[in-house]
Amino acid sequence: MSNLSFDTEKYFKLVLGLGNCSLDNIEQLCNVYAQAGADIFDLSPNIKSLKAAQLGVKKAGLNPYDFKYCVSFGVKGDSHIKKAQINTKKCKRCYKCVSKCPQNAIVMGENGYPKVLTEKCIGCRRCEKSCIDFHDYEVNIKDTAKDFKGEKLDIVELHISSLNKKDIFKKWETILDNFDCQKSICIDRSKYGTEKLIKLVREMTKLNSEPTIIQADGVPMSGMESLPCTLQAIAHAQIYKDLNMPIFISGGTNSFTRELADKFEISYNGITIGSYARAIVKDAITCGDIKLAVEIAKRLVDNVKN
Ligand code: SF4
Ligand code: SF4
């Protein structure tokens, strides 16, 4: 059952999931963005992340039950669920991959070989070389639903960045059967032409008795204040203009997104921001200046909501 209102409200959703953040990061960022007026925290599908988010809100002196929490799953091939793995048969121990990783996810392992900390890897492929393999790191949806029973969970989202319809519908149906909250789908536009995209959205939303949020993804994990990145998300959202569904804009989103959405007359219900939102408060948080971090975050949140 949905407890989101799509009539007047515009939501600010902060992405902290799918390996993008450590538990400490989640706690700090939820502390800052809860004070800044964010509404929804998008987390990895595990209880530890939810508890860290709620602790961050509590430490900000706010009630964790006043905020919404979303968890996301990915279908096979989704870049968000890809994880790097060192191929020790090919590794020459040059350690170049260590400095390339933005997440500090590659550390020294046994016998001088590097190893990847799976929970920190976001599958960005900046370390990509023949000595590094990538594999899908899938989370069991039914087990996660059992773990979250009785917890505050408001949205469950499926990320789609493959053409594997069998896998897409199997996971979508499992989500619909096992979670009693708002559902959302986020499709990688680069995989689908417009007609196929609309057909897929229609087929999936038909199976859900409640309105499904459609999250129009641009360039995920870009983290930049860049017009082209956010333009892709706007162009994607425009495709759904006549479908009369709740729309969130994501991927390459930043402080330009609102202005562009208004310019192209995209009526949206929320903007989802990850890399950019985290990047702009990073220095202030690192220096321990939470007041400044909240001020910076508030400018972004206000830009989306007001
Ligand atoms: S995995 Fe490749 S890049 Fe990393 S240390 Fe080994 S040889 Fe170097
Ligand atoms: S894909 Fe490679 S560079 Fe990217 S986070 Fe994972 S280990 Fe680091």
**Assigned fold of 12-76+138-305:** TIM Barrel (3.20.20)
Atom of ligand 1 nearest to the CA of 92: 7
160 lines ligand 2 (CB under 6 A): no
Domain boundaries, the chain: 12-76+138-305, 80-136
86 lines ligand 2 (CB under 6 A): no
Q: What is the model's pLDDT at position 2?
A: 59
- pLDDT mean over 40-44: 93
pLDDT surpassing 70 at residue 70: yes
pLDDT surpassing 90 at residue 224: no
Q: What is the model's pLDDT at position 74?
A: 85
Task: Tell me which residue of 185, 197, 181 sits closest to 69, measured CA to CA.
Answer: 181
Output 98 or 83, whichever has higher pLDDT. 98
116 lines ligand 2 (CB under 6 A): yes
Angle at 276 between CA 275 and CA 277, to 5 degrees: 95
Q: What is the model's pLDDT at position 264?
A: 81
pTM of this structure: 0.85
Tens-place pLDDT, residues 252-301: 666 667 777 888 888 888 888 888 898 899 999 999 999 999 999 999 99
Query: Long-range CB contacts (< 8 A, 24+ apart) of 172-175?
Result: 172/204, 172/207, 173/207, 174/141, 174/142, 175/73, 175/141
Output 119 or 85, whichever has higher pLDDT. 85
- pLDDT mean over 39-47: 93
pLDDT surpassing 80 at residue 19: no
279 lines ligand 1 (CB under 6 A): no
Q: Which residues of 132-159 are buried (b: 16+ CB within 10 A; e: fewer)?
A: beeeebeeebeebbeebeeeebbbbbbb
Tens-place pLDDT, residues 152-203: 999 999 988 888 899 999 999 999 999 999 999 998 888 888 899 999 999 9
Ligand 1 centroid from CA 106, angstroms: 10
Q: What is the model's pLDDT at position 55?
A: 98
Q: What is the model's pLDDT at position 51?
A: 96
Confidence of residue 127 (pLDDT cuts 50, 70, 90): very high
20 lines ligand 2 (CB under 6 A): no
- Which sign, positive or negative, has the C-alpha torsion 113, 119, 121, 123? positive
- pLDDT mean over 35-64: 95
Q: What is the model's pLDDT at position 97?
A: 96
93 lines ligand 1 (CB under 6 A): yes
Report strand pairing: 40-43 vs 68-74: parallel
Output 59 or 5, whichever has higher pLDDT. 59
Class of domain 80-136: alpha beta
Q: What is the model's pLDDT at position 188?
A: 83
Q: What is the model's pLDDT at position 162?
A: 81
Output 306 or 269, whichever has higher pLDDT. 269
Ligand nearest to the CA of 126: 2
Mean pLDDT of the chain: 88
Confidence of residue 59 (pLDDT cuts 50, 70, 90): very high
11: left (phi over 0), alpha (psi -120 to 50) or beta: beta
**What's the gap between Cα 30 and its chain centre?**
14
Which of 99, 106, 133 to probe ligand 2 with, by most ligand atoms within 8 A of CB?
106
Instruction: Count the Cβ atoms, other than its own, within 10 Å of residue 45.
Output: 24
Q: What is the model's pLDDT at position 108?
A: 93
- pLDDT mean over 74-101: 88
Share of the chain above pLDDT 90, in %: 52
116 lines ligand 1 (CB under 6 A): no
Ligand nearest to the CA of 127: 2
Q: 195: buried, middle or exposed (CB in 10 Å: 19+, 13-18, 0-12)?
A: exposed
Q: What is the model's pLDDT at position 255?
A: 67
Kindly report which listed range (8-17, 78-87, 225-234) carries the lowest average pLDDT score.
225-234
Q: What is the model's pLDDT at position 33?
A: 97
